[in-house]
Amino acid sequence: MPINILMPALSPTMEKGNLAKWLKKEGDKVKSGDVIAEIETDKATMEVEAVDEGTIAKILVPEGTQDVAVNDVIAVLAGDGEDVKSAGAGAASAPPKAAPAAQPPAAAKPATPPPPAAQAPKLAPPSVAALAPQAAAPAPQTNGHARTFSSPLARRLAKEAGIDIARIGGSGPHGRVIARDIAEAKSGKGLKAPAATPAGAPAIAPAMSDKQILALFEPGSYEIVPHDGMRRTIAQRLTAAAQTIPHFYLTMDCDVGKLLAAREEINAAAPKDKEKKPLYKLSVNDFVIKAMAIALQRIPDCNVSWTETGMVKHKHSDIGVAVAMPGGLITPIIRQAETKALATISNQMKDFAARARARKLKPDEYQGGTTAISNLGMYGIKDFTAVINPPHATILAVGTSEERAVVRQGKIEAAQIMSVTLSCDHRAIDGALGAELIGAFKMLIENPVMMMV
């Protein structure tokens, strides 16, 4: 009986992916463990292995296809002894047996859950899937007072027409707004009166539609580059973060003179390999990662994630580090950074950065974490603020180190100063607590020998 090869879920939050490349063609025989395709998620390109043995009877989704939903049938595998032509001819109709024949190479089997009586309440931090509308259910539109259910087509048509969908009466099932309701609304029929704004509450202006934006520019004076999955995910997550997380910011100047001297001395003394190349080369960012990891251990009430159920207090400092890549950025995570030597952190970050730019990171290498660091010092940026990446409660924005005039004991001296800004989630961390964290970081970064204790 033919076996369906399904679009695999390469991460817990994946809903769609791009079928980048087929590594097998129709008629090819495959064995369990053979790599059959490359799938692009919003963050990485991953190889997919076959689980069953057989022959590729029919490829249903050609390579280069974008936004293929998880569990969609992408190909059909004919089992041993089965007629390949017959299996391929019947691929259009769903076979009675639909078994996923492809899984990510490092997919872990889910653990058997404990008995219901022994289970503790689950605290689920926000994820990409939690922040974006689910594909299986229509997204409700809100006007601040009531929920308006609508079809995806209706929402798009309403947006293009510049009509608030909450003012449209739905004629679909259970009052759902559908495409024909938008057509009537354009002619002025079926529109409700605008919802009253509560006293003292500012009215929020609706976002401009694509049509309204393009109307502002002369035709032919621009080109439209479609968003890829990464850009859309970044937009969704950071929009949700800015709207739902009450940010506040704390800035300090750090004297990194001792750090720069220590870095130069450590790098000069680094052991060499057989090719006379140093086994490691520390960067300022490596010290920043280590200092932040230890600071979170010293101020454990800042090493948290907010959920509506309760505060998630983390035992280890898992530090995400923003890495720029074509079309966006990704945040690989140094796990248990407080326990790792600077040389280990340095080499791990170099490996992560290289694989991130090639989109070869695995989901478990960039998902989660307890805080993040965004360093724009290499671009000469003096200071900036960064948007918190859920489920983190903090993010540290690091500027360049530069020679500045400082006053010490009444005398003006030159010093190497680096400005850092800590963004905090006010739901989880109050001002005084955030000040303790950035203060602990400053003490460590200014006295790097304390990181070795």
Please state, in angstroms and rounded to a whole number, the distance separating the CA atoms of residues 427 and 247.
Answer: 9
Which tens digits make up the pLDDT trace of 257-279? 999 999 999 999 999 999 999 99
Range of the domain at 211: 129-192+206-218
Q: How many domains does the chain have?
A: 3
Question: Sorting pLDDT into bands at 50, 70 and 90, what band is 115?
Answer: very low
Type of residue numbered 110 = P
Which CATH number does the domain housing residue 136 bear?
A: 4.10.320.10
Strand partners, 408: 411
Residue 161 domain-assigned?
Answer: yes
Mean pLDDT confidence for 382-408: 96
Considering the domain architecture, whether residues 169 and 261 belong to the same structural domain is answered as no
Considering the domain architecture, whether residues 307 and 245 belong to the same structural domain is answered as yes
Considering the domain architecture, whether residues 177 and 258 belong to the same structural domain is answered as no
From first CA to last CA, the distance across the chain in angstroms is 63
Residue 116 domain-assigned?
Answer: no
Report pLDDT for 268.
95
Considering the domain architecture, whether residues 92 and 142 belong to the same structural domain is answered as no
Give helix 284-298 / helix 431-446 axis angle, nearest 10°: 130
Report pLDDT for 269.
94
Which tens digits make up the pLDDT trace of 219-242? 999 999 988 878 888 888 888 899
Report pLDDT for 204.
53
Which CATH number does the domain housing residue 18 bear?
A: 2.40.50.100
Residue 197 domain-assigned?
Answer: no
**Secondary structure (3-state) at 6:** strand
Which tens digits make up the pLDDT trace of 58-103? 888 998 888 888 888 898 888 777 777 777 676 654 443 334 444 4
Please state, in angstroms and rounded to a whole number, the distance separating the CA atoms of residues 75 and 92.
Answer: 10
Which tens digits make up the pLDDT trace of 161-206? 777 777 787 777 667 788 777 877 766 665 665 555 455 555 555 6
Residue 111 domain-assigned?
Answer: no
Please state, in angstroms and rounded to a whole number, the distance separating the CA atoms of residues 137 and 305.
Answer: 28
Q: Percentage of residues in the chain with pLDDT exceeding 70?
A: 79
Please state, in angstroms and rounded to a whole number, the distance separating the CA atoms of residues 58 and 73.
Answer: 11
The rounded mean pLDDT for the chain is 82
Considering the domain architecture, whether residues 133 and 30 belong to the same structural domain is answered as no
Report pLDDT for 416.
96
Which tens digits make up the pLDDT trace of 350-361? 999 999 988 889
- In the predicted model, is pLDDT for residue 452 greater than 70? yes
Considering the domain architecture, whether residues 69 and 149 belong to the same structural domain is answered as no
Q: Which of 20-29, 56-65, 127-136, 326-335 has the lowest mean pLDDT?
A: 127-136
Mean pLDDT confidence for 420-448: 97
- In the predicted model, is pLDDT for residue 142 greater than 60? no
Residue 428 domain-assigned?
Answer: yes
Residue 268 domain-assigned?
Answer: yes
Residue 244 domain-assigned?
Answer: yes
Considering the domain architecture, whether residues 246 and 314 belong to the same structural domain is answered as yes
Which CATH number does the domain housing residue 283 bear?
A: 3.30.559.10
Please state, in angstroms and rounded to a whole number, the distance separating the CA atoms of residues 353 and 392.
Answer: 21
Considering the domain architecture, whether residues 151 and 85 belong to the same structural domain is answered as no
Considering the domain architecture, whether residues 214 and 238 belong to the same structural domain is answered as no
**328 and 302 Cβ atoms separated by less than 8 Å:** no
Report pLDDT for 161.
72
Q: Name, in order, each residue with C-beta under 8 angstroms of 310's C-beta and a sequence gap of 6 or more.
A: 123
Residue 25 domain-assigned?
Answer: yes
Of the candidates 76, 109, 116, 70, the one whose C-alpha atom is nearest the C-alpha of residue 92 is 76
Report pLDDT for 431.
96
Residue where one domain finishes, among candidates 152, 183, 218: 218
Considering the domain architecture, whether residues 376 and 429 belong to the same structural domain is answered as yes
- In the predicted model, is pLDDT for residue 321 greater than 70? yes
345-449-380 Cα angle (round to 5): 60
* Catalytic annotation, residues: 426
Considering the domain architecture, whether residues 17 and 59 belong to the same structural domain is answered as yes
Report pLDDT for 148.
63
Report pLDDT for 446.
97
Considering the domain architecture, whether residues 323 and 389 belong to the same structural domain is answered as yes
Looking at per-residue confidence, does 233 or 147 come out higher? 233
Report pLDDT for 198.
52
Report pLDDT for 80.
74
Report pLDDT for 120.
40
Residue where one domain finishes, among candidates 68, 103, 138: 103
Q: C-alpha dihedral over 40, 42, 43, 46, to 10 degrees?
A: -20
